[in-house]
Amino acid sequence: MRKFEDPETLRSWARKARLAGKKIALVPTMGALHEGHLSLIAAAKKKGADEIVVSVFVNPTQFGPKEDYAQYPRDHVADAKKCVQAGATAIFFPTPANMYADDHSTWVIEDGALSGSLCGARRPGHFRGVCTVVAKLFNVVQPDFAVFGQKDFQQATIIRRMVRDLSFGVEIVVAPIVREATGLALSSRNAYLSADEKVRALALSATLKDLKAGVAAKGKLVWKTARARAVSALEKAGLRVDYVEAVDAENLKPVKTLKAGSAVLLAVFDGKTRLIDNCLV
Amino acid sequence: MRKFEDPETLRSWARKARLAGKKIALVPTMGALHEGHLSLIAAAKKKGADEIVVSVFVNPTQFGPKEDYAQYPRDHVADAKKCVQAGATAIFFPTPANMYADDHSTWVIEDGALSGSLCGARRPGHFRGVCTVVAKLFNVVQPDFAVFGQKDFQQATIIRRMVRDLSFGVEIVVAPIVREATGLALSSRNAYLSADEKVRALALSATLKDLKAGVAAKGKLVWKTARARAVSALEKAGLRVDYVEAVDAENLKPVKTLKAGSAVLLAVFDGKTRLIDNCLV
């Protein structure tokens, strides 16, 4: 497996691979890799990529000033080992300095149609940072396709929109959420949880399961009622609700009836840790 | 010469050319081609491009609501003929509908460091539209280099910054302003001028020439004094001054002393037509 720190070296390598007719996949991550990330690499492999580039970059521009940029887990040695085992052929560990000039001033923004709600409403600038860094990675690697996790549902929707709107020649693949046997969605931020908090966190997936079961049984649910029940279950478990929303899975617009084609998105604070989860109905 | 309307057809063609080892140049224009545009094609040829793609697109998103989008001159037949003669190998005539979806919501913006002054201050949203369409063209064509005119000095500076900040693998070439024998900088908007207005417009290049001569003679000029003289000359000619600015040619920051490395940028209204011109000192 090749390791790169400098974008220009990665660019030349990817260019050669492309000219040699190789199919290139990109898996953008912030590192602290877990089985969820490795499933993205597996998806790239399954789709027939000849070269699988995993980027590992805790992107400063997508963190708010009061968020966890400084303490976000970083472990390049462990990440590189996991990438090799999962079948990645290149890993990209850029530094903030080689991704952003001191006078960086160009940004990719989504104007709010998709990013004005949910996490976008609670994390100002977050999706500006995400779109900008993903655009940069696309430009450096010029992959045939890129794999994102459904765990970050809003992000995947916004990236798909970015690709369409800015005419990127990159196919977006979204891989399903990977969960522990308990139902807890894998997240690098689970590392912040105490044992007690980890138990409380189970209410996220349990709530989603309950909503899906409700729709499966009745065909649809009035969201107002279903939402009240969900909020109550999360609060009873000891979580502080950030949002509980049902949206159209394509355009993220709120729906009044939960049915096939809807998505439910949750964000809670579990102690000091913010956790998200979602499901397609 | 190949003609394209659909971005995806152009993308496949450009991809094949790239894989065949060809060097691709892009010349983005709004059409109504004149010798200034043709000099950009010539520059691409001189630099050794195997394929020269000229895009002709009056980009709606870079016009303000009170600007001249509707009446901007359009002549695809004449443009295609000129492109062939100048040595372009492909021309791209997209329609607004195949460049922008109805729910387009992703934009490339420069946060104001370079776009907050000069034309950017007077044409809100203009550079957002320019950056967005140029990013799209870069993504579709993936050229080795793209040629812009120095006539749009602020635009060229912002595009260079965009390429750096978003890690585009595209070299930016800026070709000098082409002028009529009278000194008037070529512009598609010169077509709006009456005979009288065209005479008045000569004050633009004459003013720049005077300032350059001043620096050549004295080494530098106090901008406050030089500016007053320039404004007075433009007004005396019957032009309404929009701005007269001296900036650092790299970062567009205003300078107090006009000297080597400065640029002078002018914008005036000549009747109802807004004209710009500039020079490097």
Between CA A162 and CA A157 the distance in angstroms is 9
Percent of chain B with pLDDT over 90: 100
Q: How many Å lie between the alpha carbon of B163 and the closest alpha carbon of chain A?
A: 9
The per-residue pLDDT of chain A, averaged, comes to 98
A21 contacts in chain B (CB < 8 Å): 19
pLDDT-derived band of residue B276, with 50, 70 and 90 as boundaries? very high
Mean pLDDT of A254-277: 97
Q: Do A161 and B105 touch (CB under 8 A)?
A: yes
Provide the pairing of β-strand B2-4 with A262-270.
unpaired
Q: Do A104 and B21 touch (CB under 8 A)?
A: no
SS (H, E, C) A21-70: CCCEEEEEECCCCCHHHHHHHHHHHHCCCCEEEEEECCCHHHCCCCCCCC
* B19 in contact with A, Cβ within 8 Å: yes
Asked whether the beta carbons of A53 and A141 are under 8 A apart, the reply is: yes
A188-280 in CATH: which number? 3.30.1300.10
pLDDT at A42: 98
* A133 in contact with B, Cβ within 8 Å: no
pLDDT digits (tens, 9 = 90+) for A105-146: 999 999 999 999 999 999 999 999 999 999 999 999 999 999
Q: Do B108 and A166 touch (CB under 8 A)?
A: yes
Asked whether the beta carbons of A24 and A17 are under 8 A apart, the reply is: yes
Between CA B12 and CA B8 the distance in angstroms is 6
Q: What is the ipTM of this complex?
A: 0.97
The per-residue pLDDT of chain B, averaged, comes to 98
Q: In this complex, which of A105, A107, A132 lies closest to B114 when CB atoms are compared?
A: A105
pTM score? 0.98
* A201 in contact with B, Cβ within 8 Å: no
B2-175 in CATH: which number? 3.40.50.620
Residue spans of the domains in chain A: they are 2-175, 188-280
Q: Do A251 and B105 touch (CB under 8 A)?
A: no
pLDDT at B22: 98
Q: Which of residues 69-98 of A touch B (CB under 8 A)?
A: none
**Got the DSSP string for A87-154?**
T-SEEE---HHHH--TT--EEEEE-STTTSSHHHHHSTTHHHHHHHHHHHHHHHH--SEEEEETTSHH
Between CA A210 and CA A237 the distance in angstroms is 14
pLDDT-derived band of residue A12, with 50, 70 and 90 as boundaries? very high
Tokens 């139902």 locate to: A183
pLDDT at A155: 98
Sign of CA dihedral A141, A145, A147, A153: positive
Written as one letter, the residue type at B185 is A
Mean pLDDT of B117-125: 97
Q: In this complex, which of A21, A131, A251 lies closest to B106 when CB atoms are compared?
A: A131
Q: Which of B37, B76, B104, B126 is catalytic?
A: B37
Q: In this complex, which of B106, B111, B166 lies closest to A165 when CB atoms are compared?
A: B106
Percent of chain B with pLDDT over 70: 100
pLDDT at B21: 95
Q: Which of A34, A37, A76, A126 is catalytic?
A: A37
| Size of the A and B interface in Cβ pairs below 8 Å | 102
B169 contacts in chain A (CB < 8 Å): 11, 15, 139-140, 142
Between CA B156 and CA B148 the distance in angstroms is 6
Mean pLDDT of B43-61: 98
pLDDT-derived band of residue A59, with 50, 70 and 90 as boundaries? very high
**Among the listed residues A234, B252, A73, the one whose alpha carbon sits nearest the alpha carbon of residue A245:** A234
pLDDT at A239: 98
A104 contacts in chain B (CB < 8 Å): 165
Q: Work out the burial of residue B74: count CB atoms within 10 Å of its CB; fewer than 13 is exposed, 13-18 middle, 19 or more buried.
A: middle
Q: How many Å lie between the alpha carbon of A11 and the closest alpha carbon of chain B?
A: 8
Q: In this complex, which of A11, A105, A109 lies closest to B107 when CB atoms are compared?
A: A109
pLDDT digits (tens, 9 = 90+) for A187-240: 999 999 999 999 999 999 999 999 999 999 999 999 999 999 999 999 999 999
Backbone angles phi, psi at A71, to 5 degrees: -95, 0
* B142 in contact with A, Cβ within 8 Å: yes
- Closest B-chain CA to A127: B106
* B106 in contact with A, Cβ within 8 Å: yes
pLDDT at A30: 98
* A227 in contact with B, Cβ within 8 Å: no
- Examine the residue annotation and report whether B34 is marked as an active-site residue of this protein: no
| Strands, sheet with B90-92, edge to edge from the N-terminal-most edge strand | B2-4, B90-92, B51-56, B24-29, B145-149, B171-175
